[in-house]
Amino acid sequence: MYCGGAAIVFILSIFMEQTTARLFRSSLGKKYVMAVSGVILLLFVIGHLIGNLQIFAHPDLINSYAHFLQNMGPGLWAVRLILLTAVVAHIWAAVELTLENRRARPEDYREKDTIQASYASRTMRISGFIVLAFILFHLAHFTLQVVNPQYQELYTQLEDGTVVHDVHSMMVSGFQNIWISGFYLIAIGLLSVHLRHGFASMFQSIGLRNRKIAGPLEKTSLGLSILYFAGNAAIPVAILAGFVS
């Protein structure tokens, strides 16, 4: 009886493995990977923005928030691993789908398709790589603190006496550099365009988009991208203007 059950489990595991492999090799499977990883990254950038907007409140608020995140221990690394997996999966699916489209699309129709495609969709790959370059710089700048090693020495004391890393001063110092702020605004602008197209395309990729929701979906994606850009842009602009110091 035990051997029979083990055999069934083994057969089922092989079946599931083969089914999963076939799914990921198919265009539909890659679109699902693109959609799921996109949702994970969308939730992260929205959460990241909400956290960063605390820069407009008392410094203790964002410093306490950063201290909480830094002391999550294994939980923080689990989140980072999920995000890294989502980024890699998103890039892999995007590259694979692009290569498939190129192989399937006749040369004669290339110019016609380009004219019909939206500006956002035609620049998704370029904007994606620019945004990726900025993310790597952003991590090196504020998270790893290798661009400005002096940030590692910034500490402050909360009202309750807890000594924490002074993230508020680090952000103000970083965005007072006009070149860094300029690069940030360009990257956020491209990411906003990327989000607008990606959010709407996600529903189409998994077969949930139809004529009834197409209009509201476009308006929602446009509104989301505008709010996202405005929220992020407000931070360096306010710091450069001296409203946050």
* Res 19 pLDDT > 70: no
For the chain, the domains span 31-240
Alpha-carbon distance values, 183 to 18, 131, 132, 148 (Å): 45, 10, 12, 16
Give the CB-side neighbour count of residue 73, counting CA atoms within 13 A: 0
Can you tell me whether residue 163 is helix, strand or coil?
A: strand
pTM over 0.85: no
Confidence (pLDDT) at 229: 95
Q: 27-52 and 59-70 are packed helices; what angle lies between their axes, rounded to 10 degrees?
A: 140
Average pLDDT over the chain, rounded to an integer: 79
d(CA 149, CA 166): 14
Contact indicator for 131, 191 with CB cutoff of 8 Å? yes
d(CA 231, CA 175): 15
Is 31-240 CATH 3.75.10.10? Answer: no
Lowest mean pLDDT, pick from 22-31, 119-128, 131-140, 148-157: 119-128
Among candidates 89, 79, 77, 78, which has minimal Cα distance to 38? Answer: 89
pLDDT tens column, 144-195: 788 888 988 889 898 888 899 999 999 999 999 999 999 999 999 988 988 8
